[in-house]
A and B are shown apart, each in its own frame.
Chain A
Amino acid sequence: MRGKGAAALAGLLGTALVLTACGGGSSDGGSDSGGASGKGPFTFVTGKDNSGTMPYIADEWNKAHPDEKVTIKQQSDSADQQLSDLQQHFQSKDANYDVVTVDVVWTAEFAAKGWLVPLKDDYAIDQAALLPATVDAATYNGTQYAAPYASDGGLLYYRKDLVKKAPTTWDELIADCDGKTTKGTIKGSKPGCYAGQLAKYEGLTVNAAEAINATGGTIVSEDGKSSTVDSAQATTGLDFLVNGFKDGYIPKEALGFKETESLNAFSAGQLMFMRNWPYAAAILSGDSSKVADKYGIAPLPGPDGHGASSLGGHSVAISQYSDTKGSALEFLKFMQSEEVQRNDLTVGTLAPVLSSLYTDEALVKKFTYLPDLLKSIESAVPRPVTPFYPAVTQAIQTNAYAAMQGDTTTAEALKNMAAAINSAAAGG
């Protein structure tokens, strides 16, 4: 009786283990097979098409390439699920995942696992017309592995009815808030001063990295194998966020803010300054916004002069296991072509990677934030390019969050951050 009960329990609980047993396997080296010759129909795997740009891409490509038709496979719209779907298919060497969309922060890991075709020699693509930061983010160990097609950079949204001119430095921002905002918590009729995406999730890595990069600090070394974050510059940078909570210019609610929450607070008139992505502009101008005609957009502020944005965005890459690498390469070039880039912006409000579009008169008229976004992306620093990104981002989030909450000093947090990143790189 007791034994049977134990066995049944074991079975029940075993399902917890099943979770991790799925998708085992191993990675391959980085060897390349064959030239850019394989032609034929292929599959393009990408995240859920929230921007509605994929039908245009499929139609245009298929019209021009009737013998090499593309099939678009959409994944879920959660980045975590997209990542594990790609990992599983790469681990099983799936030849049907020919071209895949890669988030900027996954590039290094995928490249180091040998899953992506390096874009050199037969696969070289001319990237001269692109914004350099986007190409850097798709580069690992000196080799480009993915072709950027959508970029993203942080912007400062400010209340132009409360300040005449957007602040360019952190000190100006804090001074602008003086007397016009409430300290510590959002309450009453006055707005809070500043907020970004400071909940403990990927957004915090973005915001913390921006603060650290703005002061000239770095998080990982060039090769991505060790940490450089335990520095005086990084301390000054992170202190902008930490002191925000201490001195009250960041309301404590911001510790729970992701993109949507910060946007909601700003659009309800509860914030004077907000850091967010370009997509926020469309929503702030919409009907439900209380600040539709009261907000302005500027590049992010920094310690002295404009700050550094973290780079967001997506690239397309060719799977090492694809049989149609030739067609795939042409498709990569097509994704970076001006017509697709233009459509991505006008239909899907995706930030283009082609620098020429940012000064295109017709586009600037429609998307007035383009010049500021260009500044933001030009000064953007990729988030740590490291094959251990999942562990590195955990190290950054955990320690930056602890410092913002006042559980530890900034210096101690950065020391732990560095140790945790080094440990991750050593295989922990």
Chain B
Amino acid sequence: MSITSEPIAENAADTSGKRRRRKRDKTIHTGESRLAFLLLAPTLIMLTVIVGYPIIKAIYQSFLTDPGLDSSGFFNEGNSWNGLANYKHWLLQQCPGAGGVTESCPTGNLGAQFWSSVGITIGFTVVTVLLETIIGMCFALMMHRAFKGRALVRVAILIPWAIPTAVIAKLWIVIFDPQGVLNNVLGTDFAWTSESGPARAAIVIADVWKTTPFIALLILAGLQGISNEIYESAKVDGANAWQRFWRITLPLVKPALAVAVIFRSLDVLRMYDLPWILTQGANGTTTMSILVVRQLNSGLNSASALSTITFIIIFAIALGLVRLFNANIVERGTR
């Protein structure tokens, strides 16, 4: 078998595929499945109540008006049918102006921040997940090797992940202080959290620092599932370290990597705590979640529309990622 013409990964994936198919062929007794359904029913009902109901209510509310001020100086009830107006407000930047006309949302209105927040959130996601994957891969390879003091390295790498995000954010505030550690070490004088460029960099740095261990851990789990024999036979066939990484490690660790990337992407797309504590969303760091929470204070139904849009955007991206990775995995498995 030559390494270059037929990656070993395919064989490995192939055997697991066969095993799966055999399992599926076994028919399950109908009685058993009924029992299974009965046992699952309470959970399903609970999920419908605590997840399904709020989602449907939120989507319904997103089509209603928020309370408005009437001539007596009191708020009316709101909640009358508003069609797609809330969605137009966010997506098309339509704001009510003085005198009942519709105008383009002025700076300072939350609506005007929608597209920039989408861009910022996706930007954060791409940059942080990319960095985390690369660094996480290095960490995982390091943790996987047997050497003296490995336990210590593993603990050191995992510590950041074990600290709550809010605590980490506070920690980084001290580091990012204009007179703080980072400026001293780098010899710069950035006002890290109060200038656009540095503020975004600060959030990326803090996020990568915290969550790289998570990716590393998942990749490590994948690495430990790869049999040593494959490496040994590759060595016998004359594959160098680089080839072994590209042709064996990477393809075989891919399922674990895919899970890690999807989880992290979802996390970053929902990111709220880190930028909120570091910058309050100032200097181009308002993520979609921050915008939703801000809007909550001034109008619940409009906030519902915004969170529905956010939901759809994140859902679409996540689905895209799942398809992308799944396609590759399935393709290799069935060929």
User: Which A residues have a C-beta under 8 Å from some C-beta of B?
Assistant: 1-2, 5-6, 9-24, 26-27, 29-30, 80, 83-84, 112-114, 140-141, 185-187, 199-201, 223, 225-226, 252-253, 255-256, 387-388, 390-391, 394-399, 401-402, 408, 416-417, 419-428
Q: Is the CB of B307 within 8 A of A420?
A: no
User: Which B residues have a C-beta under 8 Å from some C-beta of A?
Assistant: 47, 50-55, 57-59, 61, 65-69, 72-79, 89, 95-98, 100, 103, 105-113, 178-179, 189, 191, 193-195, 266, 270, 279-283, 289, 292-294, 296-298, 300, 303-304, 307-308, 310-311, 314-315, 318-319, 322-323, 326
A129 to B205, CA, bound (A): 55
Q: Is the CB of A27 within 8 A of B292?
A: no
Q: Is the CB of A2 within 8 A of B326?
A: yes
Q: Is the CB of B96 within 8 A of A423?
A: yes
Given contacts A13-B311, A399-B108, A428-B109, contact A84 B296 (CB under 8 A): yes
Given contacts A11-B51, A26-B78, contact A20 B103 (CB under 8 A): no
Q: Is the CB of B73 within 8 A of A27?
A: no
A401 to B310, CA, bound (A): 26
Given contacts A13-B318, A423-B95, contact A390 B298 (CB under 8 A): yes
Within the complex, the shortest CB–CB distance from B111 to chain A, in Å, comes to 7
A259 to B4, CA, bound (A): 64
Apart from A13-B311, A14-B311, A15-B51, what are 20 other A-B pairs with CB-CB below 8 Å? A12-B266, A14-B51, A17-B58, A18-B58, A19-B292, A20-B304, A24-B57, A27-B75, A27-B78, A140-B73, A141-B73, A185-B178, A185-B191, A199-B280, A223-B73, A255-B191, A387-B69, A419-B97, A420-B112, A427-B96
Given contacts A391-B110, A416-B106, A426-B96, contact A14 B297 (CB under 8 A): no
Q: Is the interface of B mostly helix, strand, loop or mixed?
A: helix
In-complex Cβ contact of B319 among A9, A395, A408, A417 (8 A)? A9
Within the complex, the shortest CB–CB distance from B334 to chain A, in Å, comes to 12
- Chain B residues with CB under 8 Å of A397's CB are 108
Q: Is the CB of B300 within 8 A of A24?
A: yes
A351 to B168, CA, bound (A): 35
CB nearest neighbor in A for B66: A427
Enumerate 8 A-B pairs (CB-CB under 8 Å) in ascending A order.
A114-B75, A255-B195, A256-B191, A256-B194, A420-B109, A423-B97, A423-B106, A428-B109
Q: Is the CB of A428 within 8 A of B89?
A: yes
Given contacts A26-B78, A423-B96, contact A225 B280 (CB under 8 A): no
Q: Which of B67, B298, B304, B311 has the most CB of A within 10 A?
A: B298
Q: Is the CB of B59 within 8 A of A17?
A: yes
Given contacts A186-B178, A416-B106, contact A16 B310 (CB under 8 A): yes
- Chain A residues with CB under 8 Å of B310's CB are 16
Q: Is the CB of A428 within 8 A of B178?
A: no
- Chain A residues with CB under 8 Å of B95's CB are 423, 426, 428
A391 to B111, CA, bound (A): 11
A186 to B100, CA, bound (A): 48
Q: Is the CB of B108 within 8 A of A394?
A: yes
Q: Is the CB of B69 within 8 A of A112?
A: yes
Within the complex, the shortest CB–CB distance from A272 to chain B, in Å, comes to 17
- Chain A residues with CB under 8 Å of B193's CB are 256
Q: What 5 pairs across the A-B complex have the smallest Cβ distances? A: A420-B108, A200-B282, A419-B106, A256-B194, A255-B194
Within the complex, the shortest CB–CB distance from B40 to chain A, in Å, comes to 14
Within the complex, the shortest CB–CB distance from A214 to chain B, in Å, comes to 21
Q: Is the CB of A16 within 8 A of B307?
A: yes
